[in-house]
Structure 1
Amino acid sequence: MSARKAHGAGVAVLAAAGLAPLVAAVTPGIVAAAADTEVSGVVINEVSQRVNPDWVEFHNTGDEAADLSGWKFQDDQDRGPEDYVFPPGTVIPAGWYLVLDAAEGDTRGFEFGLGAEDTVRLSDPTGTLVDSLSWTEHAATTYGRCPDGTGEVRLTAAPTRGEANDCSSPARINEVASGFVELVNPTDADLDLSGVVVRAAGADDGYVVTAGGVIRAGGFASIDVSVLPFAPSEVDGIELVDADGTVVDEQGWDTLPAPSLGRCPDATGPFAVTASATPSAANDCVPVAGQDVVKVNEVESDEGDPGDWIELVNTGAEAVDLSGWLVRDSDDTRFSTIPDGTVVEAGGFYVHEETALGFGLGGGDQARLYTPNGTLADSYTWEEHAATTYGRCPDGTGEFRTTTTPTKGAANDCGPAVRINEIESSDGEPSDWVELANPSAEDVDIAGFQVKDDDDTHVWTAPAGTVVPAGGHYVVEETDLDFGLGGADTVRLFAADGSAIDSYAWADHAATTYGRCPDGTGAFAVTVEPTKGAVNSCEGDAVPPAPWPGGPAVTVVDAEDAFDGDLSGIDYAPSGTAEPGVLWAVDNGRGRLHRLEWDGTVWANSTDDGWSAGKPLHYPGGVGTPDSEGVTVTGDGSVVVGTERDNDADDVSQLSLLRFDVSGAEAALSATTEWDLTADLPTTGPNAGIEAVEWVPDDVLTGLGLVDESTGGAYDPDGYPAHGDGVYFVGVEGTGQVYAYLLLDDGGIRQLAAIDPELAGVMALDFDLATGTLWAVCDDGCEGASSLLRVGDDGAFAVTGQVARPAAMANLNSEGFAITPVERCADGVRPVYWTDDDDTDGHSLRAGTLPCPEDPGEPGDDDGSDAGTDDGGAADGSDTGAGDGADAGAEPGGESGADDGTEDGGTLPDTGATAGWLVAGGLLLTLAGFALVAADRRRRAVS
């Protein structure tokens, strides 16, 4: 955009409508700011206390690193044990920032919220107050020091979590006409405009607001053309410049349109031609065609098929062009634009998929629809995930409710959840009957409902008080029906108002019964056997897993509260002898890698080379916080971590494998290579992506006869140069599938196989070299079942059986599993390990046993699935091979064999770990549970 310099010698300083003298010399709402930081250099730099969760930013303005170990952070109350104490090893390097979040009951931040009138205080270990800040009202943005780190505290222009404060003016250009320029104050506090300049784009001079000029909270100020040194209609753009010379807003045009160009909606929306000029008042925005008839109609927020989605419906009589409309969730920083050419016919539907959204929807969230000019057209807010979906009943006009079934891109299913589920028509036990099912999460009262066959005179009416329980069944016997069912007949179900709900017709008697498969929701089929009043028995139903092949008991093998949750994948690196090796484990929420060693009592963080608290992981270049779910040790000793998103980039699915060199003493690890699998894998939700990764050597797979599905021939490693010396097996939670990949040295990928482990989800993978078996492990969603996969005669991995978790092991959220090699065998068994992401009872690591193979020299001959009665154990916490599990909890922290998994582990103590973010100079590290982020980093691009 070019600009023509306005004529005039100097700048205008005349008063403008809407500007008033500044009443106070400080930002409204701030009571006091005090600091005594001569020794530490640490100040409270920015406070956010309006957007959940609250957060507080600390900044080390000194020339040396500041150790905050034992320092205390408080609000205006002395809360005793609930005051936040920084854990040992918390260090802020010179020039860096640390951001502490309100954890709201979590153990990873301060457990109190910040109010509209409150104080935050920072004290050293002696109790000396180092810094404090008080306010009397919520900040529209945040309160922050200006200049950054050293100045007085004022209202910022925008939150800058972990970065230098935005001390520019939050004022914005709101409307431009031939006769005036209007500014707006989008905040909830009066705004001092002293020294702010309005000028033609590219000009050196302009209108300067005189000292004492202020715009009231949410107000407007128009500057008349008579005091401007330029005419808006004679230039091609204007700029709003802060007193320090920073351009804080600008808008250009080819020809200034009449009557005016204004933001729609005011202050936040894009510029559009208005219906009339409105100086010093809200803009008169022209309605966009369709904004009153297009509605949010149905929402899937719980990782549907294939992910989250938002459905819109056109309730009008004419087609509506949705090109350029915006879809948002509850976060104003996230939006998705509906593609050009998207036209919804009258009465039609449009579904905005998660792949188009670029982000997922939460359990408590919003779906908001905006027109291209920024007008909110419709929205819906919910507090928790729906069992099915949330939808309007009736479509487009009714209130939102939980639908009976999801109906993406079609009319909502607003009828009763009860359906015909199973039919006996051939003199069953004791005669004919009709079973109804309620697959929903709520009881359904069916008083007045009617069941008929193909004869309208044959009617059964449900008496008052008849209820089909949530997830349950109700059987209508022939004695209730008062009529029988024929070999060729129909069963019909009607609501109390006579509307048809469901029906099924058949031409011949079933050998057993006709029933929905799966129960309550599927299509009708001939069942395997009648199951009156119970879940239908369908062809192909899963066979219950076999008992755990090792010892029945488990033992906790970590210190209490050592990890406090989020421990996910693990992998065992053998020592090569009978001595315990190393357990590598990843923490997904914190993006941290742990190197664990056996200390004779428990597995604990190694004290060598900076591993005492684990090391934070980052993407190449030292940025981001990978949500680290799976881990595997490769043949060259490097570690590869499987991730499903960048925790710093909101809820955006990003399926990557990251390689890390773990041989050095660095405080944090940046990936040496990233392989992005997002485009190659099926679409999943941001929390349903890569959960597991396992490296298997090439020579083992060629020895097993693996077939390369991409070529149809035997897998030939020599055909893929520069790929290392093994294959990576990747487990995806959302699809429940396993995929085999070659990772090329240049960052490229090659998929060799797709494998179905016949599990609802894959949380962990481990390859047992001794038996040639790939273990795929599910968590508490599958009752802890594991699938055993081996290469068959056709060269493909296939399920050879499934096993249940050990009898004495609770139904834990097991997201990691590791088998030790035959060198660890003792008395016929060897240790295996599970992680528990929920840290049940304060423990995240448990050990059990598997039998040793009879001939460990022949991989694949014996996977031990017929064993489990051997005695014996090992010296690293897994001595659980004998007995019935009743003594499994005898050691301190042990777990009783009588535990049926029904307890939730109680309230976990707050260890203070992972309390916040440290930010500076291009790196992202973790130190004593804190993430270090570059002060100038940008949000990582995601495909």
Structure 2
Amino acid sequence: MPTSHPRVGVASVCAAVLTFSGLVATGLLAAQPAAAADPVGYQNVRINEVTSSNNDTVELYNSGSTAVSITGWKMSDDSFSPQSFSPSSSTIEPGGFVTFNSSKGLGGSDKLVIYTAGGAVVDRVEWATDEAKPAMARCGGDGTGAWVTTTTATTFGAANASACPSSIPSPSQVRINEVTSDGSDTVELYNSGTSTVSIGSWKYVDADTSHSPVSVASSSPSATSIPADGYITFDSALGPGDNDSLFLLDGNGNSVDSVTWATDGAKPSDERCTNGTGWFRTSTTATLGSANSCAGSGGGGGGQTGRLLGGGGSLTSGCTPEAPSGTGSTPVGTSAWPGGLDVTITDNVCAFTTSTDPEGRDVSGLAFDPANPSLLWAAKNKNWLYKLVKSNGKWVPDPSWSATGKQIRFAGGSGQPDSEGVTVGGNGHIYVTSERDNANNTVPKDTIMEFDPAATGPTLTPVHQWDMTSQFPQLDTGSKDDANLGFEGVGYVPDSWLTANGWVDPLTGAAYNPANYPLHGSGLYVAGLEWDGTLHVYGLNSDGSFTTFGTVSTGKASVMDVMFDAGTQRIVATCDNTCGETHTSMKVNAAGTIVPDATYTNPGVMPIDNLEGFAMAPTSTCVNGTREAVWSDDGIYGFGSASSSYGHALYSGTFPC
């Protein structure tokens, strides 16, 4: 359950750009709505690099999650009307590049505007004399970075990093940080650099190509410079509309930055999240003149990473989401989510309210049933277990088992397990971890309980229970917070994987031989400790005893869930916002030791919350090369009270097969 981790520094982290279905339309649109012929996703295509020497080459980049057809698109500069061009491909794949040569030629000082076949402005860039030689390129991130003159050879058709200067010039570190179109039409600029930048001669213009650039100073006479880590604001004389763009030019006419938003996307404002560097998103509250709040409900402009779909609904009486706590940094070397970029909210609002938890919070561990992958088990902190099935695209309690979940107890039928992790054993039984007894929550009780899912009645008691509390004296301090840092997740790992991969038994120093432990069943159990991110390997014996096989380091500060994924043949240790919302896959190395293999983040559209549960469906469910991945939000907070994710616990995405 959410807690402030005592050893993890708190950092301000924002979610990536989102799109909530039915709430906000996405898009980089012109001053007027795009024609019906404009392809889906065109708003995510950005000019990424351009040269006015040699073959006058232009590179476009697709920062979205869907392929975009650019058939019929046109370009213009500052002297000729829109003309057709011949791209290297008629379609730009997600994260892909397309290049073309300007048939009209680009001058040493010029402007480039890209239009859809329907006439909507997609993007534009301007440069002064020789600033596009060898090229002008986005640096600091393809599709979203600052425009600078490259210092090495061009990188057309590939990422710009190698062609960018080692450091971005100070003027290029000024970014459009927030803009509003709700009457005040205010623009905020932010200097992310370390020195003051003079902007007395800078100008801005909108998406209407008939408009001439307007000086910032004429709109705000006091806006002559921006100090390091400082802000200036001004009211636009061009009156930004509902579907519009803003382009910022320096005193030489070079493009500095841009933002484009859709209908109501800049109401109350469109802001970068994170402050000064991230993608734009619609905010719930304008924060002009100060750091962006990164509290919003939908996608704004500029290069989305995916869509968050579904959600909404009214909170039921007593249902009170809980804001996330304990946010820390992402581990070095973390890779991007390897699956699909779109995510769907897949539960009903306030679906997990119970007699012991009317707030509806505290859904933690998740596990697919390998024998029936249409079933998803969920553990809820205040002693509840749910058997979930899909209905109309949502995970709901299986009414044939219990429409409201079943309450679980410790052995003997007593206590209130602080149930956190869940896994399905080789015998088909459900294994649940508990950190403490909520009836006495200052004392740790780190246990693994085995339940028979076929047992009848509204309350389940363990078939077996194993108590490892004595192994963790550091949790027994009399503090409920320390007692709450015990077993968070548990995963069943089959013996067949351990033997096939040459795991060395720490107790014998030789290859693991399951026959040495005749009472343990067909696999071992790995419990994740929130306290320090370690995994603890156990053989759970049928006589109620257990064998301890030692500790495995995940390299992370905490672990919130653990699973064995047969598809990737890896143990997966999940950490929530404490470790930047990451998943570390664990393998057996050549020395026979379980070690980290790779770490990846969540899809960028997801909230940075206490996402404590994570499960991937078996590969038997694969369709078109992907399978379902599910997350649970322990605080059902989503993106806050103004978002359609507020009050929801479950999110579904896709992972490669």
TM range (shorter): 0.3 to 0.5
* Structure with bigger gyration radius: 1
TM-score under structure 1 length normalisation: 0.32
The higher relative CO (CA closer than 8 Å, separation ≥ 6) is in 2
Normalised by the length of structure 2, the TM-score is 0.46
